[in-house]
Chains A and B, each alone.
Chain A
């Protein structure tokens, strides 16, 4: 092969490689998500329909996500899933782009979880609720009297000393402690933090462990504990088939309602594709798949998802009880920075006892 031919071949190869790379780049969508979006059963239909690859990166904790986005270049990320109460933090940081509210099917949503106050800032929609559920009480019916689980006062009583695990996240657990004292989660402040701290101390003294999602599931499944304070359908639903004794309830005092939202990242180079992804996730089909994700289950925000869920799946999600549950539950505590720091300190202090 002479030099001219060799040079031509190398140039052609380089150009083709670059072109292939460019084409590949156009077909990628990068999403920063929670683990329930990692389920191929949820993502594969969107990838097939739009002929794209969705690159998913899982994160834990809004702080970690904001730090990651802060270190990224504009355009690195296209979609963000975020705790509903933290949407305003992402908007403040300039991370979320405005969404065209007219393209979102919020009219089909359970009204309580549309939450314009959370997803909208100064009249501009930045995110949409995609899933919700409850931080409440999960327990093993084989070892626990279900009647005791109907009141928070008896859940962490002496009767269940050493049989309790506490979910390892201070906001919902402190929210439950507040509710047990008749303090609304929206009213948590520095003036009633001591009262909440006392309940936390009692709760902690009865607990065998303070566990994350997998550890709490393992503890319940292996019989290490019989109750998870802060648990809910997201904890026990994936275990329901193999261990029907594991269930959950909302006590008479109420529970904490969690929500997660999804939005398009500011600076994305693919705003249309990113919006299509958001629309897919909040469509009835996408919602049914997200609700029953292999990582954790939760209620879909879109009520039409019920048409795509089986009766068994709806029974596990307590579909028919939702009106009562929504009425009885309160939104996550949404503290400002100073209160958030105080609550976190109190949590760490409680764990160190």
Chain B
């Protein structure tokens, strides 16, 4: 039975976190929500309860298109990153000797040590017309003319995947090493093939790690501005890029806030879809 003193002590422990969340998430979110209902008259901000900024989403093709592009890129990046990260995490967890696993993980996250912007520009040079990829394929006779790789969606997805495979490898690895070897042994004793063991035992048990990493990938990717800007070459616009344009010259904070709220709505839907498998205690 908890006493009043213990309850007070409990509140004392969580109070800093609650205050922090209130001050730096709840309050800004309310301000942003209110801003999204304001309007801009010339350069004057008019506070009110107007849904004009949300109506513009339906009226302006480029806004709607930006949402679609953001979703397409984010879903592609998430799926490709999971497909690449799972085998990598598996190899580190089960094929690399225990004493080398820490070094393998260190190598896997090595690119994290480089600045995000620098890494994006490095990819731009790799994918350029006379970059490593094109020159290698030209020298091997695989292509006659350099391919257009930079300033494309392919470049944006590549830059993102390079970053997020590392993140997913960590979450999936953390999940895999928690699995008792007895699960696999039991499945094999019952006559399951290696594939059946993976399909019906290992994969379901590692879903929390996959979904947690995938959700983090989704959240970080859909809100990212740098990678599409540098690697995509503005050949198509994502929502964060449109938000930046609204703020850059005209300081249209109401429309930018409305777009940010829409992004939060999308992330909330993604959370609800993934909530069943989200297990942060597994990572």
User: A residues bordering B, Cβ < 8 Å?
Assistant: 60-64, 66-67, 89, 92-93, 162, 165, 168, 171, 208-212, 215, 218-219, 222-224, 337, 340-341, 344-345, 347-349, 351-352
* B247 interfacial contact with A, CB 8 Å: yes
Residues in A neighbouring B131, C-beta threshold 8 A: 222
A162, A208, A219, A345: which contacts B60 (Cβ < 8 A)?
Answer: A345
CB of B130 within 8 A of CB of A210, answer no
* B61 interfacial contact with A, CB 8 Å: yes
The residue of chain B having its C-beta at the shortest distance from the C-beta of A214 within the complex is: B121
User: B residues bordering A, Cβ < 8 Å?
Assistant: 42-43, 60-62, 65-66, 121, 124-125, 128-131, 148, 150-151, 229-230, 233-237, 242, 245, 247-253
CA distance A349 to B60 in the complex (A): 8
Residues in A neighbouring B247, C-beta threshold 8 A: 61, 63-64, 67
How near does chain B come to A349, taking the closest CB pair, in angstroms? 5
CB of B251 within 8 A of CB of A66, answer yes
Residues in B neighbouring A211, C-beta threshold 8 A: 233-234
B62, B130, B148: which contacts A222 (Cβ < 8 A)?
Answer: B130
Can you identify 17 A-B contacts, CB atoms within 8 angstroms? A61-B248, A62-B249, A63-B250, A92-B43, A93-B43, A162-B148, A208-B235, A209-B150, A209-B151, A209-B234, A210-B234, A215-B229, A215-B230, A224-B151, A337-B250, A347-B245, A352-B65
CA distance A61 to B245 in the complex (A): 9
Residues in B neighbouring A62, C-beta threshold 8 A: 249, 251
CA distance A348 to B59 in the complex (A): 14
Residues in B neighbouring A168, C-beta threshold 8 A: 234
CB of B148 within 8 A of CB of A67, answer no
Supposing A63-B251, A223-B130 touch, asked if A351 and B43 sit within 8 A by C-beta, the answer is: no
How near does chain B come to A190, taking the closest CB pair, in angstroms? 16
CB of B235 within 8 A of CB of A210, answer yes
Supposing A209-B235, A210-B233, A224-B129 touch, asked if A63 and B248 sit within 8 A by C-beta, the answer is: yes
The 5 closest A-B pairs by CB, nearest first: A209-B233, A63-B251, A61-B248, A210-B234, A209-B151
Supposing A63-B251, A64-B248, A67-B253 touch, asked if A349 and B128 sit within 8 A by C-beta, the answer is: no
CB of B230 within 8 A of CB of A223, answer no
The residue of chain B having its C-beta at the shortest distance from the C-beta of A336 within the complex is: B42
A63, A66, A171, A208: which contacts B151 (Cβ < 8 A)?
Answer: A208
The residue of chain B having its C-beta at the shortest distance from the C-beta of A168 within the complex is: B234
How near does chain A come to B244, taking the closest CB pair, in angstroms? 9
